[in-house]
A and B are shown apart, each in its own frame.
Chain A
Amino acid sequence: MKIGVFICHCGENIGKTVDCARVAKAASWLPGVVCSIDYKYMCSDPGQNLIKQAIKDHNLDGVVVGSCSPHMHEKTFRKAVSDAGINPFLCEIANLREQVSWVHDDVEIATDKAIDLVRIAVEKVKRNFALQTIKVPITKRALVIGGGVAGIQASLDIANAGYEVILVEKQPSIGGHMSQLSETFPTLDCSQCILTPRMVEVYQNPNIKLLTYSEVEKVEGFIGNFKVTIRKKARYVDDTKCSGCGLCIQSCPVKKKALSEFDENLTFRTAIYVPFPQAVPNIPVIDTSVCTYFVKKRESGKVACQLCMKKCDRGAINFDQQDELLVENVGAIVVATGYKLYSISEKPADSPIKGYGEYGYGKYKDVIDGLQFERIASASGPTAGEIKRPSDGKTPKKIVFIQCVGSRDEAKGFTYCSKICCMYTAKHAMLYKHKVHDGEAYVFYMDIRAGGKMYEEFVRRAIEEDGVKYIRGRVSRIYPKNGKYIVKGEDTIAGVPVEIDADMVVLATAMIAQDDAPKLAQTIGIPYDNYGFFNEVHPKLRPVESSTGGIFLAGACNSPRDIPESVAMASAAASKTLVLFGSDMLEREPTIAIVNENICAGCFYCKKVCPYNAIEIKQIVDRNGNVVKEVANVNAGLCQGCGTCNATCPSKAVELLGYTDEQIYAEISALM
């Protein structure tokens, strides 16, 4: 075999610590090496041309490049040799940067090590096989998990590009938290007015299969070829028959047992319900924990109520409906499951997060959180948009808003900043002032974070035009007195204590991960951080991809963010999906496992340990069709080349192409 060795200086990165000329010279003496050169930047065009030229001049059939990590440029060099006519898998990289120049100081020692690494790479490449990339078909359908504004955007983008999307949403309706808001900053657009057209678009789009009141139960497979099991929970309403007339809801006698989740527990809803009038789909759901029929059935087995069924003239109510398990094949998954708000209520003693006792542990009725204020301010909310105290319905004349509750808090909450609170608090204060002209609004803040477009101007408007008083300091305590709430704070700029007898207090609580986020991450197979947020591969350059191929992230499930960012991220995730769907076949690395059927004893230990279920049982038959023996067989489409089978096989019958035992022994021998 004729091998060429190419040592890269990588500017000063390698060249400063490794004497590349000496490495190249030493390599030229290795058996099999017919040409050995060094160059400043091997990955550059001239550098690559050097390699290509050398291949032609010396008729090379194997190449070793001493450079940075294969992670960086293996693809570059493989393409270069491929252009020059050699199979790309006959090119090996010796990592002289991350493994030599970046971890050693002494030039002598570093150069000796570099020579060793080149030597073993040469021995390896002598035993490389020419391999072809495996082409795997891609299922050009996408799954979007989460029907909030991010999930909606991603679904529409992918669907409008011509591909089928399955949108799975846990709640009975899509819309997420954005549908709960009254108005959005900085434009003060009515939130539902701008969102519901999108929601309807999703419902009507022929490419989108909308599964609400459903959850993802199992995810198998890999990029381009996922198999997803979805549980469509029983609504007890037949969605093919229901017309959304609402008679069932009107007739339901259970009026004061269940608190409305959509209204953030400020009002009651019925047992059979639709979360809000503009729900998509407008098909009700029965809450079996409070529905008289289900309760009585559990207690005594007797049949009771069923008024909704009697009222429905389309026979859409079905008390015997069961959960449905659907299995869908998709090629990409977009995770857009959103956030929840931190609650200041009392936590169990062993919880790492503590509640806020100094603010009353959530027991004071008029000390509420941001989403509750949104519902109060919303025209479709429990008070029809009038600002009223939950306790007695009176109009508050003094409202105190407190920022950073649970955020930037190592003691009781989360160390990070929740990003949106400064903006929505300014918005809340403005909305209050617009509705209660003689009201006084106070905001206790630590800093103002208003970095988006028109955001700073928005906050200044609240202060300069709407007369909201901003007080710089945290609040130490809130306690009730004579129907009001004493708020004890401090203005650190003036250096004076500030005590306010407020009628109502709104806490801007932290944006946190959903309760079931870790469980969902484990189901899907993506990493998450200690807060439960799903991790991106690279925070700077790859913000919408998870480290699992084919799974993309969008919105607040990754980190606290506002609506424009979530929408942008959703479109980005959609574009990544479309890139994936842009090819007909997915090219996969051929460095997979292969079974030597002559040696294989048929013990199938490999099958037991394979994490991708890529090993099957193959029957070897004789001419008469009698089974001679059973051996293991690797499914090239599923094998990821992890090597677990190779490590497990007691007979050494299964090997990894590109990393055969022979190659590894040769590398080790070359070192000795």
Chain B
Amino acid sequence: MQVGYYPGCSQEGTAKEYDMSLRKVFNKLGVQITEIEDWSCCGATSGHVTSHLLSLSLATRNLILAKEQKLPQIFAPCAACYNRLAVSKFEVENNNNAKCKVEDILGETLNNLPPVLNIIQVFQEIGIDKIVANRVRNLKDLKVACYYGCLLVRPHSITNFDDPENPSSMEQIVKATGAQIVDWNFKVECCGAAHSVPRTDIVLDLSKKIIDDAVEQGANVIVVACPMCHTNLDMRQKAMTKLYNNHKITPILYLSELVGLSLGFEPKELGINLHFIDFNIPLMEEEKVL
């Protein structure tokens, strides 16, 4: 399977382990990823929050690059990047006014832009069976709460992916690793997103609520598919322990890290040691898959 790779800015920085783990995992599962050459920032939150046209232009530039590099489809591991790319593609394809403006800004004609996938969709294309077949560790001691965040499933009319109120696509992949699924209530509740720096108080509050519900429903690990969510839930947990005296420390794993563990990689190989919250759950002995 071939797919174009749009890393997004955080993959080079604060979400380094996400990049490390997904490269290893996709390689093992036979997915050939091709990084888009000279990709640039999609604009993230700051773009669309201040200028609609800027946001569309920044994102669309990358779609044009992908098309020029003959990539049939691309995926973005960061939910925000995925959302900006998908929404921008939708707008320039369905709104003539927007299309003209962006073409004018970029000096390029927009047509035949490649489809944009998120990381869960890539795993779905790989197929659950393949993950199970390559599984070396059964992660049955992990009780996983799958956290989707806001931007994977919304707006539903554009992403057209899973159920925006009660999604289950990530759970299918987690099940394939042997881990237990926890049914919980905050799957798609906002973590505070880009307020992480300027209004950390809000993020601490919102992210705490998310972790609390996951723990209350019996989870011992939360799995995410977005670097912003990961930062808010992982990096900010230390501050949570200081602010709230009943906080239960819970490790936060990227989906690719979880799958990587089940495929036999060591935590260090996947970058799990780079997290702020340590992942200490003992993993089952290697078992031979018949």
Contact = CB atoms under 8 A, between A and B. Distances in A.
Contacts of B185: 479-481
A582 interface: no
Contact of B164 (A357, A480, A481): A357
B244 to A, nearest CB: 18
Contacts of A479: 185
Contacts of A480: 185
Contact of A361 (B164, B166, B216): B166
A358 B163 CA distance: 11
B165 interface: yes
- Dominant SS among interface residues on chain B: loop
Contacts, number: 11
Contacts of B164: 357
A361 B164 CA distance: 12
Q: Which of B163, B165, B185, B216 has most chain A Cβ within 10 Å?
A: B165
A28 B164 CA distance: 75
Contacts of B163: 357
Contacts of A357: 163-166
A75 to B, nearest CB: 53
B45 to A, nearest CB: 22
A539 B165 CA distance: 39
A357 B164 CA distance: 8
Interface string A334-377: 00000000000000000000000110010000000000000000
Interface string A467-496: 000000000000111000000000000000
Contacts of B216: 481
Interface in B159-205: 163-166, 185
A226 to B, nearest CB: 47
B75 to A, nearest CB: 23
Interface in A238-272: none
A389 B216 CA distance: 23
A501 to B, nearest CB: 13
Interface string A445-466: 0000000000000000000000
B177 to A, nearest CB: 26
A357 B167 CA distance: 10
A600 B185 CA distance: 77
A257 to B, nearest CB: 27
A498 B216 CA distance: 23
A357 to B, nearest CB: 3
A357 B166 CA distance: 7
Interface in B139-156: none
Nearest to A358: B165
B279 to A, nearest CB: 28
A368 to B, nearest CB: 19
A481 B215 CA distance: 12
Contacts of A358: 165
B208 to A, nearest CB: 15
A251 B232 CA distance: 63
Nearest to B184: A479
B184 to A, nearest CB: 9
Contacts of A481: 185, 216
Interface in B258-287: none
A575 B164 CA distance: 52
Nearest to B156: A354
Interface in A137-158: none
A185 to B, nearest CB: 33
B185 to A, nearest CB: 4
A522 B163 CA distance: 35
Interface string A625-665: 00000000000000000000000000000000000000000
Contacts of A361: 165-166
Interface in B94-148: none
A358 B153 CA distance: 14
Nearest to B213: A481
A480 B185 CA distance: 8
Nearest to A359: B165
Nearest to B165: A357
Nearest to A357: B165
A479 B213 CA distance: 11
Contacts of B165: 357-358, 361
A361 B163 CA distance: 11
Contacts of B166: 357, 361
Interface in A143-190: none
B260 to A, nearest CB: 31
A642 B240 CA distance: 80
A479 B166 CA distance: 11
A479 B185 CA distance: 7
B38 to A, nearest CB: 38
A357 B163 CA distance: 8
A585 B7 CA distance: 83
A409 to B, nearest CB: 15
A615 B216 CA distance: 77
A361 B185 CA distance: 13
A479 B186 CA distance: 9
B157 to A, nearest CB: 10
A635 to B, nearest CB: 56
Nearest to B186: A479
A225 to B, nearest CB: 52
Interface string B36-50: 000000000000000
Nearest to A361: B166
B124 to A, nearest CB: 16
A646 B224 CA distance: 72
B106 to A, nearest CB: 34
Nearest to A486: B185
A246 B39 CA distance: 78
A580 to B, nearest CB: 50
A494 B185 CA distance: 28
B164 to A, nearest CB: 7
A113 B164 CA distance: 61
A479 to B, nearest CB: 4
A481 B165 CA distance: 17
A361 B165 CA distance: 10
B214 to A, nearest CB: 13
A481 B163 CA distance: 22
A395 to B, nearest CB: 25
A656 B164 CA distance: 61
Interface in B50-70: none
A413 to B, nearest CB: 15
A357 B153 CA distance: 13
A546 to B, nearest CB: 37
Interface in A569-585: none
A38 B216 CA distance: 88
B245 to A, nearest CB: 20
A338 B216 CA distance: 46
Nearest to B185: A479
A481 B185 CA distance: 9
Interface string A103-128: 00000000000000000000000000
A348 B200 CA distance: 41
Interface in A184-229: none
A412 B38 CA distance: 43
A479 B216 CA distance: 14
A360 to B, nearest CB: 8
A480 to B, nearest CB: 7
B189 to A, nearest CB: 9
B224 to A, nearest CB: 20
B280 to A, nearest CB: 28
Interface in A296-346: none
Interface of A: 357-358, 361, 479-481
Given A357-B164, A479-B185, A481-B185, 5 more contacts: A357-B163, A361-B165, A361-B166, A480-B185, A481-B216
11 contacts: A357-B163, A357-B164, A357-B165, A357-B166, A358-B165, A361-B165, A361-B166, A479-B185, A480-B185, A481-B185, A481-B216
Interface of B: 163-166, 185, 216
Q: 10 smallest A-B Cβ distances: which pairs?
A: A357-B165, A479-B185, A357-B166, A358-B165, A357-B163, A361-B166, A357-B164, A480-B185, A481-B185, A481-B216
